[in-house]
Homo-oligomer: A and B are copies of this chain.
Amino acid sequence: MSDKTALTRTKHKGVEDREQIHSILDASSVGYISWAEENQPYLIPLAYVRDGDRLLFHGSTGAGALRKLAAGSPCCFSSFVLDGYVLARSAFESSMHYRSIVAFGVCRVLDGEEKVQAMNIITEGLFPERTATLRPMLDKEVAATLILELPLDEVSAKVSADQPHDEGDDISWPVWAGVVPIQHVLGTPAPADNLMNEFQAVPEYISRWTK
Residues of A within 8 A of B (CB): 4, 8-9, 29-30, 32-45, 47, 60, 62-64, 73-78, 80, 82, 84-85, 87, 89-92, 94, 96, 98, 100, 102, 104, 119-120, 123, 126-127, 130-131, 133-135, 137-138, 141, 144-145, 163-164, 166, 170-196, 198-203, 206, 209
Contacts and interface: CB of A to CB of B under 8 A. Distances in A.
Which 4 pairs of residues, A with B, have the shortest CB-CB distance? Answer: A36-B36, A181-B187, A34-B34, A34-B41
A164 B138 contact: no
Contacts of A195: 176-178
Given A186-B180, A209-B180, A40 B91 contact: no
Q: Among A75, A89, A176, which residue has the most Cβ atoms of chain B within 10 A?
A: A176
A63 B175 CA distance: 29
B172 A196 contact: yes
A176 B193 contact: no
Given A91-B141, A181-B188, 20 more contacts: A4-B42, A30-B82, A33-B43, A36-B40, A39-B39, A41-B74, A44-B78, A89-B134, A90-B135, A90-B137, A90-B141, A91-B119, A91-B131, A92-B144, A163-B192, A174-B198, A177-B192, A180-B209, A182-B185, A185-B185
Classify the secondary structure of A's interface with B.
mixed
Given A194-B171, A199-B175, A38 B41 contact: no
A94 B127 contact: yes
A123 B87 CA distance: 11
Contact of A44 (B102, B104, B164): B102
A12 to B, nearest CB: 14
